[in-house]
Structure 1
Amino acid sequence: MRITNRIMTNNAMYNINNNKINEDRIFTQITTGKKIDRPSADPVIAIRALSLRATMTELAQYYEKNSKDAQSWLEVTETSLSTGSHILTDIRRLAVSGPDTYKTLQDWTTVVNQMDTLADEYYSTGNVDYAGRYIYTGYRTNSTLTYPQDTTEEYSNIHDEFNADHIDTSTRVTNMQKLADGDEITAAAQKESDMKRYEVGRLRLSYDNIKTSVPPSVNDISVKYREPMLVSAVSELQPDTRNIKTVNLSFTDAGGQSHTVHVPVSNGAAAGGASPAVVVEGETYSAAKNPGVPTTYTLNTASYGTFTINEKGVITAPPAFPTGNVLRATTEITESRVATVTFTADTSSPLETVNVPLTTECRQPYTVACENGYTAQVNTDGTVTLSKSVGGASPMTKTVRMTANGSVSTSYNEVEKHPDAVITGATSQDDIDTLYSDLAAGTKDMVFNAVTGELLFSKKMQTTLSGLKDMQNAKTIDVVYDKSNFKKGETRPEHLFTCTKGGIIYNSGSGGHTMHYDVGYNQTIDVNTTADDIFTNELKRGCQDLKRVLAQMSDVDAKLNTLKEHLRTETNATNKANIEAEIKAAKKAYDYLTDTMKRQFSTKITEVKDALDRESDAITVNGTRSMRLDLIQTRLQSQSTTFKELQENNEGINMEEAATNLATAKNTYSASLMATGKILQHSLMDYI
């Protein structure tokens, strides 16, 4: 091969260029700290870098953001729970020392005011927020637990549930209102024998000042108590071949309100029979297969017309929207499982079997008509309540509660009662005395005091309710009432009870408002403690009882002091005898009230103990979550370190090695320049 000067020059220049490129590459590595500056430089490193960077981004989200946010939430909860526990401990200390320490009216006044103030502070801990979100109110993080001021809001069908151990006694001293103030010394004096004490059964509701109609009606409140069925309900899922078609309709009405409905098509409907009626928000829906065209369905509504749907779930009629009261609508045909429930309600009932379609939940509860006169209410959490009311000599409602997957959680017979009389603010003290007397004598079974928020029972009714056995997954007594006026510091019903406000039903199912934080790969942690885990209204209601007795004691004490002053100045013998009789009667009434106050303090000890137990359980659960989060954070930190090291090894360079390589590259580049310069000084002609 012939070697020319051009070949030698080109080779020398090529060598210089390569050496310069290599020097620049190493210099760029040192400058950036990375092995490559573009994916094409090393695709393997580039692909691995993308994977490692994605992993590091996820770890940073979990460790630096999610877990830190969860930790802060748990720490705020821990501080609030600790504060509540200290407050309850102070209340318990006052309650324990009360009966033996406090003797005078001033003593009682001081301690009751202290306990009431501490109770207010305890409930205020329920309004603690984290980053503007209230920590105890579940998903309703923009709503306080208690009312910040006196408020008027209409709540209906508040379900206030209790167990039998909540039944206690109510004590009333009659004829206290007839005690003279001292200026009626010529009137017939009250005697000691006139001061009678009646004790009747009582169930204290969670609120006072319950709403009543005008005039008040015994139907303003209903008391439902539950007893286990003779043979508890069991359920069995039917095979998939027994699944039923369900028409799922979502539409927007002319007013812009969105609706979602799940309407099952019964097996009988396949042959043209009637389908189960579904009632949602007061509207009735039904669906059936068209006998003439078995691959299509007809969905009937009372207010929104009729829809024809093909087997693919497409609406074929009406052909277009908007039409009538519907702006837009979509449908889907799905299948729903069927659960067969079997039970025997009582000795007078046969073994019953009911097939229940397990349809999907909506944002509001809805009912599905089932066979044999039963209806299934599908709650907002997917749970189902199967029920049927029966009349006769012993009217009751047979009820079976089911989970979303069709298993039975509890079953019972529910008996509904209404009071014989209602006490309102317009009821006179004499009439209230008479009602207590009637209850004690057994001529009345139940009286509702709407002012104090109490149900009062005869001995017979008290025995019946107190003897109810606790049931699994259900309380034994359900009191349903309305309320509209709330005082500052009272809890909002939607945080503790099933209730209705503005047409919206709150807490219709048993599902909680648990917030889950993603704190790792396939790892979540519950961060919130809901109000119903800790708070009840019993603590505040107990303080109201104490204040009510204290007010009566203050009233009697004032009358007693006035009577004593009049006795000191009175000269008429008849008047003096009247006053002395009044004084004896007042002292007896005061002694009765003092005894009632001491009993209330004993009850208060139990109330505070129960509250402390709930608080301690919540502290334990919250602490366990924090410990688990600490372990997760430690693991995340370790993973971050490991993947950071892998990322550095994959992308990063060894600076010492790179510096050595750069020095070598520079020397090589310089040497190539020198060699090329030497070569280019001569040509091939110099050797001829």
Structure 2
Amino acid sequence: MKETTGMRMTNKIMQNNSLYNINNNKILQDKLSTMMSTQKKITRPSDDPVIAIRALRLRTSVAELTQYYEKNAPDAGSWLEVTEGALKTVTDVLTEMSKQANKAANKDLQPAELEIIIGQLKALRDEVYSTGNTDYAGRYIFTGYRTDTTLSFEDDVNEQPDGYPRYEITEQVNIKDFDTINYTDRDVLDGITKDNYKDAAYNAAVEQGIFNDENSNIHRLRLSYDALSADGIMEKTSVTLPGTTSVKLKDGSVKTLDDLGVDVNKIMLPAGTKATVNAGAATLPAGTTITLSDGSSVTLENDANVTLPAGTEMTDANGQPATTGDVTLSGFTLTQEFMGEAVQTVSLTSNPDPYKQIYEANKNGTNKVILIPETGELLFSNASYDAIEQAAQQNPEMAVTYRKDEWVKGDLRPEHYFACTGTVKDKDGTDKTVNYNQEYLRGEGKKQVIEYDVGYNQKIQVNTTADEVFGHGIDRDIDDLERALEDLKEIEAIRNELDGVLKGLDEEKDADYPVALKRYEAADKAYTYIRENIHKMFGETITKMQGHLDDTNVALTDNGTRSQRLDLIGNRLMDQRTTFQTLQSENEDIDIAEVVVKLTSTELTYNSALMATGKIMQTSLMNYI
């Protein structure tokens, strides 16, 4: 049997082992004490890499959820609340406007009473557009991405002598945007007074001289703005020149249009072109397209000097005939076109006025299109409208480009609605031009939606864009009523004056009585027609205001739907954050009761070890020698 021997145990070994074990116990006690003070399971990643990695992931998730729940979602909610308040204001105002229009639809109301109602409508309109300038934290809420720009001009923008600021606006329309207006031909009463009603010039001022018939309904395209530049529309511009007209080409040579084989009826100038004719000479700008007789075209790369022989017939800015033989001609607009129809720019103060010209064109069955810069209206004779309607079947998209230099408080800024170019004068005196929304012209326009991140891969739209609520129609409808009322007041004044004349005459004794009666009957007939028209307009205004109100209610409903969705997202975020915080706590935080028990046990063990070690170390081998 083999005898086994053990390692010799000395006091030194026992001392070292005791100190080592006591130190380990102290380390454990320190770890537990640290856990109690930090209430965390680990203090450094090396303590437990699994807990550390999981803690990083959970902390990131909790931080993101906290950002969504405590900041993003409340910010989005505040934006939606401000929008809701603004839309409710617009709803209330439009409701009141509808009530006022309904009140004005009463035929018994006199022009003075209608004037009061229209004054109220104007004030309510101003409130609508003022509400459109509502902001949230310094950002305008209805202007899409341009949150630093008001929806409408807050002050009158006075035109400077050199025409700044100015906007060239391209308004895209379709055939549905056309409407009709009623015109009463009462020219025979123009200028008539109690003093001149007997003049031979007013012999036609009888009932039969007042017309409101099938030709009185005028087709119209009402643009979004009035007070336009007198330059007219800036679409295609054309001029018919004699074949002997000389053109200076890029290489410096001079040729006649006959030499080039040009179809002189189809010289088209690019959009925005304005030509100046002085002493029989004009400049066709670079980009001018000349159609050759074989159907091909030549585009001028440089400005071409064109000699217009005396006698060449053209049209000036007021739509009046002009010839280049008149050396005073300068700065007039060449013949312009809209959908293939020639357009004349005619002032509202012209004689005959533009409505009369279209009325006559309807009677004669001729083509005629007129732009009225003061009112921002394109008027079409029946023949021209039929031609455009036919052309629209092949090409439904239409565009009208025009310039507007004068802006007043409340005018909607065009950059929020249209493709346009804004030009202002910089501090150093140079032109500063900004192009807005050019993608609209390419059919690539998108809504300027502002979204907030409110969750993992979750976004919510917070803004309502201006086109959903603040259309130009509200303002333009009031403009129409205001002009119609002015017309009514004018004919009322004539009628009242003639009525006074009639009442001052004796039917049996005064020879002037029959004449005065005829003049009064003519004025009364015109008044009846115009009063009936304004009654109809107020009836249509009720429908239009209801349409604007419906649009606003839709926007308000959409905004409310987003708010409800945000509430649901907020509740889910709260639940998710609570869940992740629980997981984070379970991963990182200690069980205090458990650690207290362990720490107490460790302290007891430590103290017991000290006592036992002290007892053992008191005795050594030397005590037995």
Give the distance between the partners of 2:175 and 2:339, measured in 1 at CA.
Answer: 16
- Following superposition, the deviation at residue 35 of structure 1 comes to 0.9
- Counterparts of residues 141-290 of structure 1 (less than 5 Å): 141-151=147-157, 152=159, 153-164=165-176, 166-175=178-187, 178-184=190-196, 187-188=199-200, 189=202, 190-197=205-212, 198-213=216-231, 220=234
- Counterparts of residues 460-539 of structure 1 (less than 5 Å): 460-465=383-388, 476-502=397-423, 503-509=433-439, 510-539=445-474
Letter in 1 for 2:492: D
User: Could you give the per-residue CA deviations for residues 167-226 of structure 1, whole angstroms, max 9, x where no partner exists?
Assistant: 22342443276243445455455433333333321121111112123xxx6x64569xxx
CA contact (8 A) 1:157 1:499 kept: yes
- Following superposition, the deviation at residue 505 of structure 1 comes to 3.2
- Following superposition, the deviation at residue 576 of structure 1 comes to 5.5
CA contact (8 A) 1:439 1:457 kept: no
Letter in 2 for 1:92: S
- Following superposition, the deviation at residue 652 of structure 1 comes to 0.3
Give the distance between the partners of 2:293 and 2:177, measured in 1 at CA.
Answer: 30
CA contact (8 A) 1:222 1:479 kept: no
| 1:685 aligned counterpart, secondary structure | helix
- Following superposition, the deviation at residue 595 of structure 1 comes to 0.9
Letter in 1 for 2:181: T
Give the distance between the partners of 2:29 and 2:450, measured in 1 at CA.
Answer: 57
Give the distance between the partners of 2:623 and 2:97, measured in 1 at CA.
Answer: 113
Out of 69, 76, 85, the position equivalent to 2:91 is: 85
Give the distance between the partners of 2:134 and 2:452, measured in 1 at CA.
Answer: 20
Letter in 2 for 1:676: T
Q: Which residue of 2 aligns with 1:311?
A: none
Distance 1:390 1:648, change over 3 A: farther
CA contact (8 A) 1:147 1:489 kept: yes
CA contact (8 A) 2:169 2:414 kept: no
- Following superposition, the deviation at residue 662 of structure 1 comes to 2.2
Distance 1:34 1:530, change over 3 A: same
Distance 1:482 1:498, change over 3 A: same
Give the distance between the partners of 2:511 and 2:358, measured in 1 at CA.
Answer: 34
- Following superposition, the deviation at residue 638 of structure 1 comes to 1.9
Q: Which residue of 2 aligns with 1:607?
A: 544
User: Could you give the per-residue CA deviations for residues 327-372 of structure 1, whole angstroms, max 9, x where no partner exists?
Assistant: xxxxxxxxxxxxxxxxxxxxxxxxxxxxxxxxxxxxxxxxxxxxxx
Distance 1:610 1:419, change over 3 A: farther
Out of 362, 375, 385, the position equivalent to 1:452 is: 375
* Match status 1:108 vs 2:114: yes
| 1:421 aligned counterpart, secondary structure | strand
| 2:226 aligned counterpart, secondary structure | coil
- Counterparts of residues 32-43 of structure 1 (less than 5 Å): 32-43=38-49
Q: Which residue of 2 aligns with 1:338?
A: none
Q: Which residue of 1 aligns with 2:364?
A: 441
| 1:557 aligned counterpart, secondary structure | helix
Give the distance between the partners of 1:551 and 1:426, measured in 2 at CA.
Answer: 14
* Match status 1:546 vs 2:469: no
- Following superposition, the deviation at residue 47 of structure 1 comes to 1.4
| 1:479 aligned counterpart, secondary structure | strand
Distance 1:165 1:424, change over 3 A: closer
| 1:511 aligned counterpart, secondary structure | coil
Out of 101, 107, 112, the position equivalent to 1:95 is: 101
Identity %: 39
Distance 1:69 1:85, change over 3 A: same
CA contact (8 A) 1:115 1:543 kept: yes
Distance 1:463 1:91, change over 3 A: farther
| 2:17 aligned counterpart, secondary structure | helix
Distance 1:543 1:556, change over 3 A: same
| 1:155 aligned counterpart, secondary structure | strand
Give the distance between the partners of 2:189 and 2:573, measured in 1 at CA.
Answer: 71
Distance 1:394 1:15, change over 3 A: same
Distance 1:590 1:4, change over 3 A: same
Richer in strand (by share):
1
User: What is the TM-score of this pair, normalised by structure 2?
Assistant: 0.72
Give the distance between the partners of 1:204 and 1:573, measured in 2 at CA.
Answer: 49
Give the distance between the partners of 2:122 and 2:368, measured in 1 at CA.
Answer: 33
Give the distance between the partners of 1:136 and 1:539, measured in 2 at CA.
Answer: 17
CA contact (8 A) 2:491 2:527 kept: yes
Give the distance between the partners of 1:159 and 1:482, measured in 2 at CA.
Answer: 11
Letter in 2 for 1:613: D
User: What is the TM-score of this pair, normalised by structure 1?
Assistant: 0.66
| 1:201 aligned counterpart, secondary structure | strand
Structure 1, 105-114 or 677-686: larger mean CA deviation: 677-686
CA contact (8 A) 1:34 1:653 kept: yes
Out of 576, 588, 591, the position equivalent to 1:639 is: 576
CA contact (8 A) 1:440 1:459 kept: no
- Counterparts of residues 398-417 of structure 1 (less than 5 Å): 416-417=339-340
Letter in 1 for 2:589: G
Give the distance between the partners of 2:369 and 2:527, measured in 1 at CA.
Answer: 27
Give the distance between the partners of 1:98 and 1:530, measured in 2 at CA.
Answer: 32
Give the distance between the partners of 1:421 and 1:435, measured in 2 at CA.
Answer: 11
Letter in 1 for 2:413: R
Distance 1:662 1:426, change over 3 A: same
Q: Which residue of 1 aligns with 2:51?
A: 45
CA contact (8 A) 1:160 1:205 kept: no
Distance 1:118 1:419, change over 3 A: farther
- Following superposition, the deviation at residue 531 of structure 1 comes to 1.7
Give the distance between the partners of 1:221 and 1:196, measured in 2 at CA.
Answer: 34
| 1:448 aligned counterpart, secondary structure | strand
- Following superposition, the deviation at residue 597 of structure 1 comes to 0.6
- Following superposition, the deviation at residue 419 of structure 1 comes to 4.0
User: Could you give the per-residue CA deviations for residues 260-283 of structure 1, whole angstroms, max 9, x where no partner exists?
Assistant: xxxxxxxxxxxxxxxxxxxxxxxx
Give the distance between the partners of 2:20 and 2:108, measured in 1 at CA.
Answer: 106
| 1:486 aligned counterpart, secondary structure | coil
Letter in 1 for 2:364: A
- Following superposition, the deviation at residue 162 of structure 1 comes to 3.2
- Following superposition, the deviation at residue 513 of structure 1 comes to 1.5
Q: Which residue of 1 aligns with 2:126?
A: 120
- Counterparts of residues 296-445 of structure 1 (less than 5 Å): 416-424=339-347, 426-428=349-351, 433-445=356-368
Give the distance between the partners of 2:437 and 2:293, measured in 1 at CA.
Answer: 32
CA contact (8 A) 1:85 1:616 kept: yes
Distance 1:525 1:30, change over 3 A: same
The CA RMSD measured in Å over matched residues stands at 3.3
Give the distance between the partners of 1:21 and 1:648, measured in 2 at CA.
Answer: 25
CA contact (8 A) 2:344 2:370 kept: yes
- Following superposition, the deviation at residue 593 of structure 1 comes to 1.7
Give the distance between the partners of 1:607 and 1:173, measured in 2 at CA.
Answer: 27
Distance 1:66 1:496, change over 3 A: same
CA contact (8 A) 1:71 1:629 kept: yes
Query: Where do 5+ consecutive residues of structure 1 fail to align?
Result: 224-387, 396-413
- Following superposition, the deviation at residue 64 of structure 1 comes to 2.1
Structure ID, larger Rg: 2
CA contact (8 A) 1:135 1:528 kept: yes
Q: Which residue of 1 aligns with 2:266?
A: none
Distance 1:6 1:426, change over 3 A: same
Distance 1:60 1:486, change over 3 A: same
| 1:167 aligned counterpart, secondary structure | strand
Letter in 1 for 2:180: D
CA contact (8 A) 2:362 2:383 kept: no
| 2:528 aligned counterpart, secondary structure | helix
| 1:127 aligned counterpart, secondary structure | coil
